[in-house]
Structure 1
Amino acid sequence: MQLTTVILALALLWPVGPPPPEILRGWHPPPGPYAAGHRGVDLAAPPGTPVLAPADGTVTFAGPVGGRGVVTLTLTGTGTPPLRTTFTPTTPLVARGTHVSAGTPIATLAPGTHCPTSCLHWGLLRGENYLNPLLLTPRPRSRLLPLIE
């Protein structure tokens, strides 16, 4: 199943809002699996902001990693291996195994971040491959303007 087809089939929302949040740091994939890079995007939001499920899915992890709260959501109907989206630093509101609908609060943004101001780090993976989570964001439809001579 192609990623484009999967994304078009999802009901997609921004994980923090009001939409769209300011993107403090974009996705910069590393040249190799162990190289430096930014394997997600950082979205501006103050501590305590609800973190929403961007699509229907099942919570496959909710707990601490390296002293920071992380929630991982495996997205429904996204092929094999399925897409997984991650959020940190968070305080989880849901337990592992919980099925959630798009827009359901799954966590709150916790203080303590790698950004100059408070932010949510949002990641996206298929298997072990990191992808740009902005692929999941709603985009305005393209419109062609009439040719004026």
Structure 2
Amino acid sequence: MRTSAFTRVCTRLVLLVALTLAAAPAPQPSRPAAAGADTAGVPAVGRAWPVGVRPRVLRGWEPPATPYGRGHRGVDLAAAPGARVRAVAAGRVSFAGRVAGRGVVSLELDATGGPPLRTTYEPVHPSVTEGTKVRPGEVIATLAPTPTPSHCPTPCLHWGLLRSDTYLNPLALLPPHLLQKAPPRLLPVLGSPLRPTAGSRASPRA
């Protein structure tokens, strides 16, 4: 009798635990804070490249597999020291100063949700201060000489994008017309006269 009662109690306890676990919500997989593999939700609010018109991308965005894994948390754009660095979109300067010996400017971008998207630019000599509101294309710094050692083979601007602590691809901010290459232009060969096209009237000789 005692054994039978003990068995019934154990059975009830097992059922109670099973029902409790079944009713509990399933744990959600954690997302690495620094991976940023998903660029969905990044609005194309960019109105200008940070440097130049269509600078050469020396190294693209390579998200790490883990928060502290190896990767490239941004893009490197070719530019000469002293080049003007511009805000890609409207926003507010959230930081302008030095980090680990490098000049850095960080902008919180307007109309990008919450927490707002934040772009970073380094190495630079900031020309703005924290709290300053900037317009798209406004100069915020000049490019500083690339420190040695550097992963850039030539002078470059490192441009990053984050939402909170999650790194994203900054190129996703730019609309297609800014990412496309300029159409090729046919120029006349030096010393060769231009031939009139069909239907056009040749100009009289002097």
Deviation at 1:89, TM superposition (A): 0.2
Equivalent of 1:94 in 123, 128, 151? 128
Aligned partner of 2:156 in structure 1 is 119
Determine if contact 2:46/2:173 at 8 Å carries over to the other structure. no
Deviation at 1:53, TM superposition (A): 0.3
Equivalent of 1:3 in 25, 28, 41? 41
Which consecutive aligned stretches of 4+ in structure 1 deviate over 3 angstroms post-superposition? none
Larger Rg: 2
Unaligned runs of 5+ in 2: 1-39, 181-206
CA distance in 2, matches of 1:23, 1:90: 18
Determine if contact 2:46/2:174 at 8 Å carries over to the other structure. no
TM-score under structure 2 length normalisation: 0.64
Matched to 1:123, the amino acid is G
Say which SS state the counterpart of residue 134 (structure 1) adopts. helix
Deviation at 1:117, TM superposition (A): 0.6
Deviation at 1:140, TM superposition (A): 3.1
Instruction: Provide Cα deviations, 1:22-47, integer angstroms capped at 9, x if missing partner.
Output: 00000000001011110000000000
Q: Percent identity between the aligned chains?
A: 58
Say which SS state the counterpart of residue 140 (structure 1) adopts. helix
Determine if contact 1:75/1:82 at 8 Å carries over to the other structure. yes
Unaligned runs of 5+ in 1: 143-149
CA distance in 2, matches of 1:92, 1:80: 26
CA distance in 1, matches of 2:92, 2:117: 11
CA distance in 2, matches of 1:28, 1:98: 31
Matched, 1:139 2:193: no
Determine if contact 1:13/1:138 at 8 Å carries over to the other structure. no
Say which SS state the counterpart of residue 161 (structure 2) adopts. strand
Aligned partner of 1:145 in structure 2 is none
Q: CA RMSD in A?
A: 1.6
Matched to 1:60, the amino acid is S
Matched to 1:21, the amino acid is P
Aligned partner of 1:108 in structure 2 is 142
Give 1 or 2: higher helix fraction.
Answer: 2
CA distance in 1, matches of 2:160, 2:146: 17
Structure number with higher relative contact order (C-alpha < 8 Å, ≥ 6 residues apart)? 1
CA distance in 2, matches of 1:80, 1:61: 18
Deviation at 1:136, TM superposition (A): 1.2
